[in-house]
Amino acid sequence: MESFAERIQLMAVQIVPFIMAVVFHEFAHGFVANRWGDSTARDAGRLTLNPIPHLDPIGTVLFPLINMLSGINLLFGWARPVPINPTRFTKYRPGLFWVSLAGPGMNFLLAVLSAAAYCTLVRWVPTTFYLFEPLVAMAYVSISLNYALGIFNLIPLPPLDGSKMIQSFLSYDATRKYEALSQYSFFILLGLLWAGAFNLLGYPIRFFSNTTVFGMAALFGIPGAN
């Protein structure tokens, strides 16, 4: 069983990739929304990579602390959602789809870049460098963490991004009925968590993480990758 000191050490490795993952996720939503004609996020000062405006007391403070105290191996949480007004999109349906996909898409991109950073460190940075181990650990954690966040947000349950992508294909009446599920979403997610259904997400997360690391290692010519 992990000691409290070991949990602190694990969280110290995870916290930077975690904050980057949630902040870049929200920034991507706002950036793409602005490209589709909705400047709401920009006007609210949220079109920034500065983490402070994106921090959520529960999602980026309380949940990580709970993770640390409970010994969960992978941090989970969220940032404050950027304000989006789909009625301002130049084209509603494609705008809603691409803005919703932007967040998970950014996480998948960060996962690939993290794998590249990991392989760069392993390939060219000497192990005697005093920050070698924490940087390698952060880069490696960032891969699975970003895949976890991206895949989770693709769950088609309001208000997650996956539901918004589906809404971009629905009629107005169907969208209203679909959005009505949001009042039960927390309890549905809690029930799925207790039932162990989220364990199923571990399979695609591990598959994409391992595949990305393996492919990047082969690209960088790291021994043992072939």
| Contact indicator for 41, 29 with CB cutoff of 8 Å | yes
CA atoms within 13 A on the CB side of 21: 33
- CA 70, 138, 29, 52 dihedral sign is positive
Catalytic-labelled residue, pool 2, 6, 26, 133: 26
CB 41 within 8 A of CB 84: yes
Q: Is 6 annotated in the active site?
A: no
- Spatial separation of the C-alpha atoms in residues 151 and 161, rounded to whole Å: 10
Closest CA to 17 of 68, 102, 76: 76
Instruction: Give the chain's end-to-end CA distance (angstroms, integer).
Output: 35
* The residue count for the chain: 226
Catalytic (active-site) positions: 26
